[in-house]
Structure formats: structure tokens, C-alpha cells
């Protein structure tokens, strides 16, 4: 059988749009990409399962070989929307120029599947002793629906997992989580000349912000992980809007803040801390304060520095293992097995106009993936 060339895989992945967005006018689903991947994986001898989690939102799991353990290579098939008018190249086509592939998803991260397929083609699988799995998820850029669903429902038990997000081919073993909430204060507006005629939402918000700043300092004092460049959880007040006029008592005010928890801080524990911080203000102003999450919280994640996957992958890549500040699907896939994040392209280009993958990543990535496949799917001779 004649398989597509590496560039054909890449070109088809990029030209098949699969944007996910919380804005329904952008949201497309990923069915077409998943069906293409399914066909290619089957042609290479994989067993393929496709699961539709929500309408038009699919996960694919491909399995090459049989046996226990093995290696899971994972990635998401959705992309973010693109800034119309700010791209110099067509986002939904593969443009080859300046020794780069340009296009939406070239780095983050549909291109990773072309690398996996190419590495599989280059290996003689005759003496394979453990399975290779490929997981392609949906909705990473919005809710992480695909990875959450997969991690809580799958029966597979691989030894290790690698997620091919663009890390410039440096192995990553941890990142912080992300929690973002809106706090809305409903006061009562009135003429500013008589404060007794209203309840000032801005004044209540001032008490809330004071309480959150105390929590921010407490987080700095009480948590420390030297594996991170910012070794404590951060709390940032990022957006506020309230009131309309200096001569009116402010009737409504909304604040958005985020927290980036270190790995090991549970989402429930953090939620309790955030609620505890505001209990006093809430008791003073009953029924006037509403807290709602701005997105599904994502926990922090860490693979122990002395896990065998950390040392062996560092050796294969010839790079130290690091931690980063962006979020991935790793906290969910880590529930199955020790997980690293490692892939071609740079996070600098992710979510940017003229996203690209530099050609200098092509040979090293195929080489690293082949070595990982040999290491984890074949008996050492
Ligand atoms: Zn990504």
C-alpha cells in the first residue's frame, strides 16, 4: 500500500478546519479531521475507535499492536479561532515558505499527528511487544471536554503518555492549573446626595477585593514548589466594571479574577479557600454577592522528577525537563499514567496570526518519536 507523504498528511490536517470556541458562531466541531485520522491509522494497521461525546465533537483512539502497557501519544484536533485580516497566509491551507509551514494548527497542534504517522511508517513493527496508542481529542481549546471524558471512561492502561503540544521539543513535566471566576455584586442605585437611599456595589466590591488580596498573600506564604519559576500560586484581579456616573450610587459591579494553582492543590480545596475568603463579606451583605466560574477549572499537573519517563525522555531529547506556565490536557491524562508534554513547534506561535512550524523541527521530531516508540513498544534486546 502506498501511504500519503508526510506533507500530504500535514496539508490535509491544516486544510480541514476544526475550530472550537465558546462563541457558537465560530464553533465547528472536529468530525472531519477525526475521520481523516481514522482512515490513515487504519491504513497503517491500527484498530480505531471513534466516540462522539457531544454532537460533532469526537475523540479517536487508535491502537497499534497488542499486549499490556505501551505508549500513548496524545493531542487535540481542535484549533482556536483566527484573527481575520491579521494573517498574511491562508489559515486553512498549508503554505510553505521561509523554511516554515504556515497555517492554523501547524504548531498547536494538528501537525503533531502527521509526525506520529510518519514515525510509524518508518518503523519495522514486526517485533513489537507492547501497544502504541494514539489519542486525538476534541475541544481542548475550550472546555477540555475530550480529555476529561477520555480519562474518566477509558479502560486502557498505557505505561506512559506524551502530549505533543508545541514545547520546542523540550520535555515538560509540570504546569500550574487555571481557575477564573466572576464576582458580581448587586447593590441598589440611588442619588449620590443621600447614601441611605442605596447600597453601593463598589463599596462592597472594595471589601471583596481586600479579602481576595489577603488570600493572594496567604497563597504566597503557604505554598511553595521550587520546580516553578513563580514558585507559588498566583491570584490576579484582571477585570472590573461597575457604576455609570459619579452622582449615582453604584448599583452593580463585576470583577473577574484568576488563580493559577500549583500541582497538588485540589480544585475543591482551592474552591473552598476562595469561598472562605469571602464568607465574612457575604454574611454582611446577604444575597448581594454571586460567584460564577468563567470556565471549567483546570488543575495543576506534575510528573515526578524521578519518574523513569522523565530521565529516559530527557536522554532521548538531549534536553533538561522543565515546567511551564500554560495549561494542557496533562492533568486529566496523568490519571492514567505518568505524562509528559513534548512536541514540535513553539508555544510562542500558538494562538497567533501566521502560526507556523519551522522545518528545523521536522527531522528531530520524527527521530524523537521513533526513539520513544522503540523504547516503550519493543522489548529491550
Ligand atoms: Zn494546544
Domain ranges in the chain are 6-175+300-377, 179-293
Residue 177 — very low, low, confident or very high, per pLDDT cuts 50/70/90? very high
Mean per-residue pLDDT, 166-179: 97
Between the CA of 245 and the centroid of ligand 1 the distance, in Å, is 43
Distance CA(291)–CA(257), nearest Å, equals 11
Q: Answer yes or no: is pLDDT of 68 > 70.
A: yes
Element of type H or E holding 11: helix 6-15
Rounded distance from Cα 251 to ligand 1 centre (Å): 40
Would you say residue 162 has pLDDT above 90?
A: yes
Predicted local confidence at residue 278, as pLDDT: 97
Model confidence over 334-371: pLDDT tens digits? Answer: 999 999 999 999 999 999 999 999 999 999 999 999 99
Average pLDDT rounded to a whole number, residues 100-124: 97
Beta strands at 71-76 and 160-163: parallel, antiparallel or unpaired: parallel
Rounded distance from Cα 163 to ligand 1 centre (Å): 9
Determine the distance separating the centroid of ligand 1 and the alpha carbon of 110, expressed in angstroms: 9
pLDDT at 2: 77
What is the three-class DSSP state of 137? strand
The annotated binding site for Zn(2+) is made up of 76, 108, 141, 165, 351
pLDDT in tens, 276-302: 999 999 999 999 999 999 999 999 999
pLDDT over 60 (residue 327): yes
Where residue 325 falls among pLDDT bands split at 50, 70, 90? Answer: confident
Q: Domain 179-293 adopts which CATH fold?
A: Alpha-Beta Plaits (3.30.70)
User: Active-site residues: which are they?
Assistant: 78, 140
Percent pLDDT > 70 in the chain is 99
Distance 186 CA to ligand 1 centre (A): 37
Judged against a pLDDT cut of 90, whether residue 380 lies above it is answered with no
Is the pLDDT score of 6 beyond 80?
A: yes
| Model pLDDT, residue 381 | 56
What is the dihedral angle through the alpha carbons of 324, 325, 329, 334, rounded to the nearest 10 degrees? 50
- Helix (H) or strand (E) run with residue 162 in it: strand 160-163
Mention the CATH class of domain 6-175+300-377.
Answer: alpha beta
- Summarize pLDDT for 21-39 with one digit per residue, the tens: 989 999 999 999 999 999 9
Which segments are annotated as binding site? 76, 108, 141, 165, 351
Is the pLDDT at 323 greater than 60? The verdict is yes
Average pLDDT of the chain is 96
Contact 165, 351 (CB under 8 A): no
Per the confidence metrics, is the pTM higher than 0.75?
yes
| Distances 57 to 30, 35, 92, 137, 227 between C-alpha atoms, Å | 6, 12, 19, 9, 35
pLDDT score of 347: 95
Cis peptide before 109 (omega within 30 of 0): yes
Centre of ligand 1 to C-alpha 76, Å, is 7
Q: What is the pLDDT of residue 379?
A: 86
Q: What percent of the chain has pLDDT over 90?
A: 97
- Residues flanking ion ligand 1, Cβ below 5 Å: 108-109, 165
8 in Cβ contact with 114 (< 8 Å): no
Contact 87, 54 (CB under 8 A): no
Cell of 63: 491502537
Q: What is the pLDDT of residue 3?
A: 82
Amino acid at each position: 500500500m502506498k501511504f500519503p507523504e508526510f506533507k500530504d498528511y500535514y496539508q490535509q490536517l491544516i486544510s480541514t478546519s476544526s475550530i472550537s470556541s465558546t462563541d457558537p458562531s465560530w464553533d465547528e466541531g472536529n468530525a472531519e479531521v477525526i475521520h481523516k485520522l481514522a482512515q490513515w491509522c487504519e491504513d497503517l494497521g491500527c484498530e480505531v475507535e471513534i466516540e462522539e461525546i457531544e454532537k460533532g465533537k469526537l475523540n479517536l483512539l487508535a491502537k497499534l499492536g497488542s499486549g499490556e502497557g505501551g505508549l500513548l501519544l496524545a493531542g487535540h484536533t481542535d484549533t482556536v479561532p483566527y484573527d481575520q485580516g491579521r494573517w498574511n497566509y491562508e489559515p486553512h491551507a498549508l503554505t510553505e515558505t521561509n523554511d516554515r509551514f504556515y497555517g492554523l494548527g501547524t504548531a498547536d497542534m494538528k501537525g503533531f499527528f502527521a509526525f506520529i504517522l510518519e514515525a510509524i511508517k518508518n518503523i519495522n513493527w514486526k517485533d513489537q511487544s507492547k501497544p502504541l496508542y494514539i489519542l486525538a481529542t476534541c475541544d481542548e481549546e475550550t472546555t477540555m471536554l475530550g480529555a476529561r471524558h477520555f480519562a474518566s471512561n477509558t479502560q486502557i492502561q498505557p505505561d506512559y503518555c506524551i502530549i505533543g503540544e508545541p514545547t520546542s521539543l523540550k520535555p515538560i513535566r509540570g504546569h500550574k492549573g487555571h481557575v477564573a471566576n466572576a464576582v458580581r455584586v448587586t447593590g441598589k442605585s440611588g442619588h449620590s446626595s443621600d447614601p441611605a437611599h442605596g447600597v453601593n456595589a463598589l463599596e462592597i466590591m472594595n471589601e471583596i477585593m481586600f479579602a481576595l488580596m489577603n488570600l493572594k498573600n496567604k497563597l504566597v506564604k503557604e505554598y511553595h514548589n521550587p520546580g516553578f519559576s513563580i514558585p507559588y500560586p498566583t491570584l490576579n484581579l484582571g477585570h472590573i466594571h461597575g457604576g455609570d456616573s459619579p452622582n449615582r450610587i453604584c448599583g452593580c459591579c463585576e470583577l473577574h479574577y484568576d488563580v493559577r494553582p500549583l500541582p497538588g492543590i485540589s480544585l475543591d480545596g482551592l474552591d473552598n479557600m476562595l469561598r472562605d475568603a469571602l464568607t465574612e463579606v457575604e454574611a454582611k451583605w446577604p444575597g448581594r454577592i454571586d460567584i460564577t466560574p468563567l470556565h471549567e477549572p483546570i488543575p495543576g499537573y506534575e510528573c515526578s522528577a524521578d519518574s523513569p519517563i522523565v530521565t529516559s525522555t530527557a536522554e532521548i531529547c538531549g534536553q533538561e525537563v522543565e515546567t511551564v506556565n500554560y495549561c494542557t490536557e496533562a492533568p486529566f491524562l496523568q490519571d492514567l499514567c505518568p505524562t509528559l508534554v513534548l512536541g514540535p513547534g513553539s508555544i510562542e506561535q500558538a494562538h497567533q496570526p501566521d502560526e507556523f512550524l519551522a522545518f528545523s523541527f521536522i527531522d528531530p521530531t520524527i527521530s524523537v518519536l521513533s526513539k520513544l516508540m522503540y523504547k516503550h513498544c519493543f522489548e529491550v534486546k
